[in-house]
Structure 1
Amino acid sequence: MFTGIIEEVGRVTAVRTKPQARELTISCTLILEDVKRGDSISINGVCLTVSTFTKESFTVDVIPETVKSSTIEELKTGSRVNLERAMPANGRFGGHFVSGHIDGVGIIRSEKRESNAITKTIELNDDLMKYMMLKGSIAVDGTSLTVFDVGQNTVTISLVPTTQEDSLIGEKRIGSRVNIECDLLAKYTERIQTAKPKMTRSWLAENGF
């Protein structure tokens, strides 16, 4: 589990391509302070597992499903990435519940500076839009953000100066693809509402009630 508060921006130092999969090596500083093999690290919002590490970098394997459903395949040597360690059980909760399981990819369609903030409008498909609501939560490339406007197939986010400085979302330009994770609570609510009730009259009869 993550909070969507980016801890550090790292840099990809190696990409090894496998059949439909990837192996990434990322250099950083803060993330390596207490890293262990098997740790979960959010890389641009994607939860990946540390396979090996050194004093300067760590390496993760990316399975085919993750390559297909996120922007990980676009990373190359030299790419900068948002990094966050999994939240400790006794840690402070600063953002919102972020699982690191990407729901889809959005495309930045416009941006505008308003005083000290930058607003960006992101196009989403219908599968993602159904979870969007005004003042709701969204994770964009792993960054916890608030939805400030909802269009027919777009959402608008606003970046405060701290977010602009501490993560990469402020640098993403029009046309950039970004990883999207919808609000967990919205997805759980939908699941509960659409799940078929198990305790029906026929179920009770079949089970001796």
Structure 2
Amino acid sequence: MFTGLVETIGTVTEIGQRQNYRTIKIAPDKLFSDLSLGESIAIDGCCLTVIEFGKKEFAVEASPESVSRTIVPDYRGGSRVNLERALLPTGRLGGHFVTGHIDGIGTVSAIKKSGEAFELRVECPSGDRRYIVPKGSIAINGISLTINDINENKLTVNLIPHTRTMTTAGNFKVGDRVNLEFDIIGKYIARFLSQENRNNLTIDKLMDSGW
């Protein structure tokens, strides 16, 4: 489990293949002194397993499923990626619950300056529209953000200066593909609604029950 608060940025130094698995070597800007083999780490929000590490870099591997559902195929030597280690039981939940399981890939469709911040518009897969809630949470490339506006299958979030500086969000360009993970509570509610229509479950009933 993660929070969507990026700890540091890393640079992809090498990409390889081990049988059916894609291997990715990364040099983090801030070294992780106590990294261990088998540890889970979010790379642009995608939970991957550490398979080796040294003083200046570490390697993770991505399964065929992860490769097909994320922006891992877009990585090249020099690519910059967001890094977050798994949440400790004693840690603070400063963002929102992020599982590290990517729901789909979105496309940056617009970036507009708004005061000191920037408005980022992302086009989502059409089937994921039901998960998007105004003022709800979303993880974009592993960054916990708040959805400000929805227009059909496009959502808008604000990128404050701190977020643009401390994550790869400052490098986003129109046309970039990004990993999307929707809020887990919203996904559960959508699933309940789709499966329990025979019981006449509605949004109003969920709200009356405290959701």
Question: Normalised by the size of structure 2, how large is the TM-score?
Answer: 0.89
Letter in 2 for 1:53: F
- 1:126 to partner: Cα distance: 2.0
SS in 2 for 1:100: coil
Question: Which residue in the other structure is 1:16 paired with?
Answer: 16
SS in 2 for 1:163: helix
Q: Distance in 1 between matches of 2:190 and 2:36?
A: 36
CA displacement 1:13-48 (0-9 Å, x = unmatched): 110035653100101153522100111100011000
Q: Distance in 1 between matches of 2:161 and 2:131?
A: 27
SS in 2 for 1:66: helix
Question: Which residue in the other structure is 1:79 paired with?
Answer: 79
Question: Which residue in the other structure is 2:61 paired with?
Answer: 61
For the 8 Å contact 1:134–1:150, the answer to whether it is kept is yes
Deviates more, 1:157-166 or 1:19-28: 19-28
CA displacement 1:126-180 (0-9 Å, x = unmatched): 2221100110101000000000000011000101111011001221100000000
SS in 1 for 2:131: coil
- 1:195 to partner: Cα distance: 3.4
Question: Which residue in the other structure is 1:201 paired with?
Answer: none
For the 8 Å contact 1:111–1:120, the answer to whether it is kept is yes
Q: Does the C-alpha gap of structure 1 residues 69 and 91 become closer, same or farther in structure 2, counting only changes over 3 Å?
A: same
Question: Which residue in the other structure is 2:117 paired with?
Answer: 117
Question: Which residue in the other structure is 1:126 paired with?
Answer: 126
Q: Distance in 1 between matches of 2:78 and 2:132?
A: 33
Question: Which residue in the other structure is 2:45 paired with?
Answer: 45
Q: Does the C-alpha gap of structure 1 residues 31 and 184 become closer, same or farther in structure 2, counting only changes over 3 Å?
A: farther
Q: Distance in 2 between matches of 1:11 and 1:29?
A: 8
SS in 2 for 1:4: coil
CA displacement 1:39-85 (0-9 Å, x = unmatched): 11000110001011101111111110111100011101111100000
Letter in 2 for 1:10: G
Q: Distance in 1 between matches of 2:106 and 2:18?
A: 25
Q: Distance in 2 between matches of 1:31 and 1:147?
A: 32
Matched ranges for 1:1-209 at <5 A: 1-18=1-18, 21-195=21-195
For the 8 Å contact 2:140–2:178, the answer to whether it is kept is yes
Q: Distance in 2 between matches of 1:20 and 1:53?
A: 21
- 1:125 to partner: Cα distance: 1.6
For the 8 Å contact 1:118–1:170, the answer to whether it is kept is no
For the 8 Å contact 1:31–1:84, the answer to whether it is kept is no
Q: Percent identity?
A: 40
Letter in 2 for 1:118: F
Q: Distance in 2 between matches of 1:184 and 1:43?
A: 19
Letter in 2 for 1:155: L
Kindly report the root-mean-square deviation, in angstroms, between the aligned alpha carbons of the 2 structures: 1.5
For the 8 Å contact 1:11–1:28, the answer to whether it is kept is yes
Ranges in structure 2 where 5+ consecutive residues have no aligned partner = 198-211
The structure 1 segments of at least 4 consecutive aligned residues displaced by more than 4 Å after TM superposition are: none
Tell me how many residue pairs correspond in the alignment. Answer: 197
Q: Distance in 1 between matches of 2:196 and 2:18?
A: 41
